[in-house]
C-alpha cells in the first residue's frame, strides 16, 4: 500500500497535532496507530497545559529525595524491584542529567520549548476549531509548611526571570482561591499561565475528527520496521516521509533502523471520580506527594506520580488507591467513591527533554517523542517544529538540545 507525502506513526495528542499542522501546510498525511485514536497516555492525562513546568525531572532535588521515595512503593517516585536491574543504565543517565550544568542547559531548552508551545497553542486551536475546549483557570501548588514553601522560592524566582507569573498565598487567600482544602496546607502559589483542556480524550478525538474532515486518513496498523522511504506495517508498506510519534513505544521502532535511544516509561496512574458538585476551581498540585487533582468534563481526576516500570509489568493500582486516600484527606469534602482507575505509559528520556528531529542515519524519519508527562503541554509547539522541518523551514527554537543523536 502506498500513500502520500507524510506518514505519522502514533494517533495520540502529539501525533495528531503534527498531522493537523502538516495538513495545514498542504501535505497529504496518513496517521497509523497500532490501537487507534487516543488509545494510550493521551486519554488519561491530567488535562493540563503545564507551561510553568520548565525544570527537568532529573535534578539535584530529586536525586536527594529519591532514596526516601524509592523506599516507599506507593510514593511519588518508584521502581518496581523486578525492574530495577533493567532500568539501571537509564538511571545512570538520569543521575548524570541531574548534574547542575546539565540541569541548567535542560532548563533553558525546556523554557524555550514551553514558550513556543504556549505561543503556538491559541493559533492552533483557532485554526482547527478547538478553541472552545481551552480553559484558563490556572493552577494552585500547595505546601504543608512554611519551610516547604520557602524551599520552593528559588524555583519561582527562576520562573519569574523568564516571565512566568505567580502569586503566593497564605491563610484565607488560599481558601478564596480554592475552597475545601484541609488546613494543613498553610501556603500556596497560584500560576495563571497554567491552562487546561476540558477533557484530554475528547480533545484528541476532536482533532482526529477535524483531520479526517480535511481529507486525512487514520489507519489501525502496527508499524514494524522503519525504511529509507517509509515504514513497513502490519497492513503493508506505507511510503513517504515518516514522523515517529509513537510515545513510549517509539524506541522499539528506532531499533529497526539500528538506533538505540534510552526511552523509558513513566507509568502514570489516576482515578476519575464522578462529578458530584465539588467546587474545584483550578488544577491543584500536591507537589510534596507527586499528584494533582483536575476538573474535567468526564469528572474529577486524581492522578500523577512516577513509576519507572517499563511496558510489560502488570499495573499496580495500589498506587492509584494511595493517591485517592490522600485526596480524601487533603480535600475532605471530595467524595472519592465510584471512580474509574487507569494506568498509562508516559515516554521519558533521561534528561527530561523530548527527541525532536531527524533520526540518526535516516533523515527521512523525524522523531517527535519522549515528552514525559508534558505531551499535551508541548504538543502544539512540537507540531509547529515538525511542520517546519517537513517544509524545509528553520524552526523557531534551537533543536540541538532535542536532537535524537544526543544519546
- Cα distance between the two ends of the chain: 34
Mean pLDDT of 158-176: 97
Phi-psi region of 96 (alpha: psi -120 to 50; beta: other; left: phi over 0): alpha
With 60 as the cut, is the pLDDT of residue 16 above it?
yes
Can you give the pLDDT at residue 388? 98
- Sign (positive or negative) of CA dihedral 117, 241, 310, 323: positive
Domains and CATH numbers, the chain: 6-44+201-261+352-406 (3.50.50.60), 58-97+134-195+263-348 (3.30.9.10)
pTM of the predicted structure, to 2 decimals: 0.96
Q: Give the confidence band of 4 by pLDDT, cuts at 50, 70, 90.
A: low
CA angle (324, 327, 331) in 5-degree steps: 150
pLDDT category at 71 given cuts 50, 70, 90 is low
Give the lowest-confidence range in 1-5, 68-72, 138-142, 232-236. Answer: 1-5
Take residue 399 and report the three cell numbers written for it: 533543536
**What is d(CA 117, CA 111) in angstroms, rounded to the nearest whole number?**
10
**What does the alpha-carbon distance between residue 290 and residue 304 come to, in Å, rounded to a whole number?**
6
Characterize the bridge pairing of strands 291-296 and 340-348: unpaired
Summarised one tens digit per residue, pLDDT across range 279-315 is 999 999 999 999 999 999 999 999 988 899 999 999 9
Mean pLDDT (the chain) is 95
Query: What is the DSSP secondary structure assignment for residue 371, as one 8-state letter?
Result: B
Cell numbers at residue 156, please?
519561582
Largest separation between any pair of C-alpha atoms in the chain: 64
| Model confidence pLDDT, tens digit, residues 192-242 | 999 999 999 999 999 999 999 999 999 999 999 999 999 999 999 999 999
Amino acid at each position: 500500500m502506498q500513500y502520500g507525502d507524510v506518514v505519522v506513526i502514533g494517533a495520540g495528542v502529539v501525533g495528531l497535532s503534527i498531522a493537523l499542522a502538516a495538513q495545514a501546510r498542504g501535505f497529504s498525511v496518513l496517521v497509523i496507530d497500532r490501537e487507534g485514536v487516543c488509545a494510550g497516555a493521551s486519554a488519561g492525562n491530567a488535562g493540563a497545559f503545564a507551561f510553568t513546568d520548565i525544570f527537568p525531572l532529573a535534578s539535584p532535588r530529586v536525586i536527594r529525595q529519591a532514596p526516601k521515595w524509592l523506599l516507599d512503593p506507593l510514593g511519588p517516585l518508584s521502581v518496581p524491584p523486578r525492574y530495577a536491574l533493567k532500568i539501571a543504565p537509564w538511571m545512570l543517565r538520569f543521575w548524570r542529567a541531574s548534574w547542575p550544568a546539565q540541569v541548567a542547559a535542560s532548563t533553558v531548552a525546556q523554557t524555550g520549548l514551553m514558550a513556543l508551545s504556549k505561543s503556538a497553542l491559541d493559533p492552533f486551536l483557532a485554526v482547527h476549531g478547538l478553541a472552545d475546549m481551552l480553559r484558563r483557570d490556572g493552577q494552585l501548588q500547595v505546601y504543608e509548611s512554611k519551610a516547604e514553601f520557602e524551599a520552593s522560592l528559588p524555583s519561582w524566582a527562576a520562573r519569574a526571570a523568564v516571565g512566568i507569573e505567580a502569586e503566593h498565598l497564605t491563610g484565607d487567600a488560599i481558601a478564596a482561591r480554592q475552597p475545601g482544602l484541609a488546613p494543613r496546607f498553610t501556603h500556596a502559589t497560584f500560576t495563571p499561565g497554567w491552562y487546561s483542556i476540558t477533557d484530554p480524550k475528547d480533545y484528541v478525538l476532536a482533532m482526529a475528527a477535524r483531520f479526517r474532515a480535511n481529507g486525512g486518513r487514520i489507519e489501525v496498523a502496527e508499524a514494524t520496521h522503519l525504511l529509507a522511504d517509509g515504514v513497513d506495517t502490519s497492513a503493508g508498506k506505507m511510503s513517504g516521509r515518516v514522523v515517529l510519534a509513537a510515545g513510549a513505544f517509539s524506541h522499539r521502532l528506532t531499533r529497526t533502523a539500528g538506533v538505540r535511544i534510552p526511552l523509558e516509561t513513566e507509568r502514570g496512574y489516576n482515578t476519575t471520580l464522578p462529578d458530584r458538585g465539588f467546587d474545584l476551581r483550578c488544577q491543584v498540585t500536591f507537589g510534596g506527594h507527586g499528584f494533582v487533582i483536575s476538573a474535567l468534563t468526564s469528572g474529577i481526576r486524581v492522578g500523577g506520580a512516577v513509576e519507572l516500570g517499563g511496558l510489560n509489568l502488570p499495573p499496580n493500582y495500589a498506587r492509584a488507591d494511595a493517591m485517592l486516600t490522600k485526596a480524601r484527606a487533603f480535600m475532605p469534602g471530595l467524595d472519592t467513591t465510584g471512580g474509574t482507575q487507569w494506568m498509562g505509559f508516559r515516554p521519558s528520556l533521561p534528561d527530561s527533554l523530548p527527541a525532536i528531529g531527524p533520526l540518526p542515519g535516516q533523515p527521512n524519519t523525524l522523531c517527535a517523542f519522549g515528552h514525559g508527562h508534558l505531551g499535551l503541554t508541548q504538543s502544539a509547539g512540537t507540531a509547529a517544529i515538525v511542520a517546519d522541518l517537513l517544509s524545509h523551514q528553520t524552526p523557531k527554537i534551537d533543536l540541538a538540545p532535542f536532537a535524537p543523536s544526543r544519546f
